[in-house]
Structure 1
Amino acid sequence: MRLNKYFFCCLSAIILHLTANAQGPLKGDTTTDILLDTVKQPKYEMRAVWIATVVNLDWPTNARATAEAQKRELAEEMNVHQKIGINAIMFQVRPAADALYAKSREPWSKYLTTRQGQNPGYDPLEFAVTEAHKRGMELHAWFNPYRATFDGKFSTLAQDHITRTKPDWFFIYDGIKLFNPGLPEVREYIVQVILDVVKNYDVDGIHMDDYFYPYPVRGQVINDADAFAKYGGDFDNIKDWRRNNVDQLIHMLADSIHKYKPHMKFGISPFGIWANKSQHPDGSATNGGSSYIENFADTRKWMQEGWIDYISPQIYWQIGNRAAAFDVLLDWWSNNTYNRHLYVGQAPYRFYEARSPAFKNPSEIPNQLRLIRANPRVQGSIYFRSQSLIANANHIADTLKRDFYRYPAMPPPMLWLDSVPPYPVQNFTARAENKGIMLKWTAPPPAEDGEPAYGFVVYRFQANEKFDLADPKNIIHIQYDATPYYFDTNIQRGQTYFYVVTAIDRLKNESERSPTMTIVAP
């Protein structure tokens, strides 16, 4: 429900999600940082950010700008994130049954040109993938599964918009049109929409947000009684049937995505509470809205069944919050990962909210990061949202760049998808040149599973340093392409350097090291 927090039209839904004291005072002294060892940083950690395109939140900030101006803005945005230390982008490509990519069965998004269906003159997703990979960042295509319109201006929809061609597939809730998840043809359609991207784009993952069944709004009713009468024969109540409808979509997507691209990641970002203990015996010690009850999304089951590769719950509350404490929810989710990855959704955007005083504390998000790092069952973070990092909300970008993300990291491998590392690089050489040291190598042959090397990692050591490939401070370059060379210009004349190169595959499994090259900088 990230976007609900931005628009007054959805505030009624938010109010239902937390009790009146949800932003109550923290437990203990919030002026003191949590003292945890963060000196040695992880070599593998998800460090992602959401780039929201709906209503031009993060990009493009001007839907009337030229294609070149929009591309330039996105490239500059990625430059900032690269400097911060971000290694993955969650790029919103389908805000409301529309598309920010060319190879789609749905019309172009109005957020590109102000008019739905109008060709922007380039393929934003293709451009975004290229730019992300160029900077050593993954790109996950972010889909909103069931929202068909973002507002009630139905007359502005393109003539070929699915709400016009298949009007029986939708119900109106709180003034917008939503796909009816109870219809088998709707689930099949959404799978095919997502497979258009899986088949045609070099994305690293498919990412879905939390909008399954709509968040409850007082006075609104989900009009799916007819669908329940037709398809709900095996269920005693409509709530279990709705939950099963969403389960079916997730299971279908998991099978379909991995059928076409076995190494592609599939992740979900649900509301931060699965269920409260008062609602379910396995729930968390919280008191707020929950995806299990309100969105009919049994996200914990999807982890149990292995249908998704990662989950990124939006834990958008502070440590010690009375209704939904960050620390309580972090522990609960980490105890319910079922050997899949947990990337915590964090909320630097709340610094700008008058009703969120806890996030004015510059130690709040750093302390959350320390708790994340201290928990071995948590593999990283995703930040909502891009412009909050770019604006350096409460100095968060500075903190990441100078401290937590001072050294590079790769997204952690997913051994259930691929556990076979590449072979080592071959013919590694180093040569001193006028302005630096040129490193060259030959890509290895395909690994045992037939997968070629996807990229390379370059390590550098000095004479007094331990040759530790597990310490990311020794990494000077990570690349996501097959270019078999790197030119190191960050050198000191007369200094002796020792270089090692490894190969990585798509899921960041790493080869054995190359022989060490020793060279004196000119």
Structure 2
Amino acid sequence: MVGMGSLSNRADPAKPKRQFRGFWLATVANLDWPSRPGLTPDAQQAELRGWLDLARRLRCNAVVVQVRPSADALWPSPYEPWSAVLTGRQGGHPGYDPLGYLVTEAHARDLELHAWCNPYRVASHADPARLVADHPARRHPEWVIAYAGRLYYDPGRPAVRSFVQDAMLDAIAHYDLDALHWDDYFYPYPVAGESFADQASFAAYGAGFDSLAAWRRHNVDLLVAQMSDRLRAVKPWVRFGISPFGIWRNAATDPLGSRTSGLQSYDAIHADSRRWVREQWIDYITPQLYWHIGHPDADYAELVRWWSATVSGTSVELIVGQPTYRVGGTGQDPAELSRHLTLHHSYPQVRGDLQFSGKDVRADRLGAVSRLVAEHYARPALPPVAAGRGGLPAPGVTPAPPAITAATRTPTGVRLDWLAATGTTPTSYALYRCPGTDVADPTVFDDARHLLATVRSTGVGGSFTDATAATGSAYTYLVTALDRQHRESPAGPARVLAAGGDAFSVIVDNRTPGGFTASAAWGTSSWSAGRYGADYRFTSPQPVSDPAWFTVTLPAAGSHRVEVWHPAAAGGRGEPVGAGRRPHHRRRGTPDPGRLTGADLFSQRSDPQ
């Protein structure tokens, strides 16, 4: 770091550095994607890229995509058939691996991918004969209950609970997923005049329970707790989140409940969502708060208060489900969604939001989404740091800082290049840009004012072009590394880019110890000596605090003359080597190509590296 700036040391709540941002992408009934069944693989992939590009444009950092909508799969599952939403025919091969493609494309945009699965829904009709012949529901008819015109697996059967977990864990085991996500469907919502016919299961497995309702809640609790344990055993870094109905219980029924008077998920669908949080079986909870502030039966403000109190003292993140699909309805004027996020400033327990659903986000009815983005997503944001389930420390080690190797002005902006610290494998990088040539005090990292972008790691380093950099303006760039839990490293040495030109420094990296000799014009790098071996830093004509790395690659074994050119004045353009350029090599004895400003001569007598 060079110098101290004068930026404000107060974090701006309107520009949070950490905030979960995303939307649900529903596949059931082709609600969002694919737009219709039977599209070609190219058309499906183009639509999917469009959704992911939209998420990136809105400065989201996650997408929650439904990959197991109805006891089927959007990947080649050994447990369940291909989903009919892809081809129009259950079991029909789509011609590619949708989940594999989704993982690759989401991560290329540095978007988290949460795999959304529905545990128990089998079909949106009640005829088992319409299922593909080898469907598990046809092979095990005793597992299935028809209710209100639909088919469901029976949550009361241990074999069913084990099977649905196996089916979902197959995706976890074979794909680089960031989270497993469940929605609010466990036991079905009650329908007048209908009964869920699980009396036989209750007789077989309900010993010790004094009511059918208590046994049903126990069955759902078992599913959640067992999946939590199994997920942790397979891939402890993959998070587990559930999006329940927004009301647990009303205070009139239970003093622990919220000051509401709506449907109670604890009683109606046997979902004890409060217990899942207090037991810390899950990593995050996304209650569907699909009402407006001041709603007479389910006031959004009251429910945010209640859920914030519920997660307090736990490691469970609160991410609120937003009713984007209701924009324009009663109480949902164009500013309502933005008011929701403004309210969250008073509740630090709220770590972000999910919009339902993709098509409504894209439609941007009445400009509500544009308003939300302008007022709350004006800067990028890092996802919240992911704590371990049950309050356990998250696995892994906070990454070491990366090193910026070049900051080069190009016709399209400023290109940044950097390398990860030796022996580290960051998941992604955060790029910061401060105005001017002084590095600000550490509060530069307190909010997102200077967060430029995030970039997914693809190897030992990365690159990014800052297309918003103004010609003639000076900037200071910093890069940090993030791991799978989004823990952030300290920043590496800053790169200062002077107005109108490149910052400049040169380090020659010798990968063969003793292979190079250098005069006093070169100084040994103290901060990086252990990284590459004998490294030499050119220290004239200006002090070097922003190293630009490159490796001298010689064409053949023998003695060589290596000429390094640099700008004659700070901010100028050197010929032929400036920051980020390749060195110029000439064999000893060939004519001098032009003016050298302080370059050194040295010999290499071993095999070139």
* Fold shared, TM-score > 0.5 on shorter chain: yes
Name the CA distance, whole Å, in 1 between partners of 2:234 and 2:135: 27
Amino acid at match of 2:292: Q
Matches of 1:234 and 1:446, distance apart in 2: 55
| Residue 347 (structure 1) aligned to one of 323, 328, 336 | 323
Q: Secondary structure of the equivalent of 2:345?
A: helix
Asked whether the equivalents of residues 38 and 373 of structure 1 are also in contact (C-alpha less than 8 Å), the reply is no
Give the secondary-structure state (helix, strand or coil) at the position aligned to 1:491: coil
Matching of residue 399 in structure 1 with residue 376 in structure 2: no
> Which residue in 2 is equivalent to 1:14?
none
Question: 180, 204, 214: which one pairs with 1:206?
Answer: 180
Secondary structure of the structure 2 residue equivalent to 1:379 = strand
Select which of 248, 257, 274 maps to 1:274. Answer: 248
Larger deviation, residues 37-46 vs 217-226: 37-46
Which has the higher Rg, Structure 1 or Structure 2?
2
Q: Which one-letter code corresponds to 1:363 in the other structure?
A: A
Q: Alignment partner of 1:358: what SS?
A: coil
Higher relative contact order, structure no. (Cα contacts within 8 Å, ≥ 6 residues apart)? 1
- Equivalent of 2:430 in 445, 457, 482: 457
- Over the aligned positions, Cα root-mean-square deviation in angstroms equals 1.8
Deviations 1:252-280 (A, max 9, x none): 10011111111111000000001111222
Structure-2 change in CA distance of 1:227 and 1:435 (3 Å)? closer
- Identify which of 429, 452, 475 aligns with 2:406: 429
Alignment of 1:282-361 (within 5 A): 282-337=256-311, 338-351=314-327, 356-359=329-332, 361=333
CA–CA distance in structure 1, aligned partners of residues 14 and 412 of structure 2: 31
Distance 2:100 2:265 in 1: 32
CA deviation map 1:337-396 (0-9, x unaligned):
1331000111010125xxx3211x112111111112321111011111100010012212
Q: State the aligned residue count.
A: 478
Task: Give, in whole Å, the separation in 1 of the partners of 2:218 and 2:13.
Answer: 45
Identity across aligned pairs (percent)?
A: 39
Say whether residues 1:55 and 2:29 are aligned partners: yes
Counterpart in the other structure of 1:478? 454
Q: TM-score, normalised by structure 1?
A: 0.88
Q: Deviations over 1:405-461 (max 9, x none)?
A: 0100111012335274111114643334454333222212456xxxx3111111111
Residue in structure 2 matched with residue 383 of structure 1 by the alignment? 355
What is the deviation of 1:105? 1.6
Question: Given the superposition, is the C-alpha separation of residues 178 and 342 from structure 1 closer, same or farther in structure 2, using an over 3 Å criterion?
Answer: same
Contact 2:68 2:116 in 1 (8 A): yes
Deviations 1:210-256 (A, max 9, x none): 00011000111111111111111121111111111111110110011
Aligned to 1:500: 478
Counterpart Cα distance in 1 of 2:27 and 2:179: 18
Which residue type is aligned with residue 430 of structure 1? A
From 488, 492, 496, give the equivalent of 2:466.
488
- The alpha carbon displacement at 1:478 in A equals 0.3
Following superposition, the deviation at residue 40 of structure 1 comes to 3.8
CA distance 1:56–1:409, change in 2 (3 Å): same
Please say if residues 250 and 307 of structure 1, whose CA atoms lie closer than 8 Å, have aligned partners that are also in contact: yes
**What SS is found at the alignment partner of 1:188?**
helix
Counterpart Cα distance in 2 of 1:116 and 1:415:
39
Distance 1:434 1:75, change over 3 A: closer
Corresponding position of 1:131: 105
Compared CA separation, residues 156 and 508, structure 1 to 2 (3 A):
same
Aligned to 1:147: 121
Q: Structure 2 length normalisation: TM-score?
A: 0.76
Is residue 103–residue 200 contact of structure 1 (8 Å, CA) maintained in 2? no
Unaligned runs of 5+ in 2: 1-10, 502-609
- 1:166 maps to 140
Greater shift in the superposed pair: 341-350 or 101-110: 101-110
1:440 aligns with 2:417: yes
CA distance in 2, matches of 1:274, 1:245: 17
Q: 1:519 aligns with which of 497, 500, 513?
A: 497
Whole-Å separation in 1 of the counterparts to 2:406 and 2:272: 53
Structure 1 regions of 5+ residues with no counterpart?
A: 1-36
Distance 2:13 2:384 in 1: 19
Cα drift, residue 470 of structure 1: 2.0
Q: What residue identity is the alignment partner of 2:32? A: D
* TM-fit CA distance, 1:86: 1.6
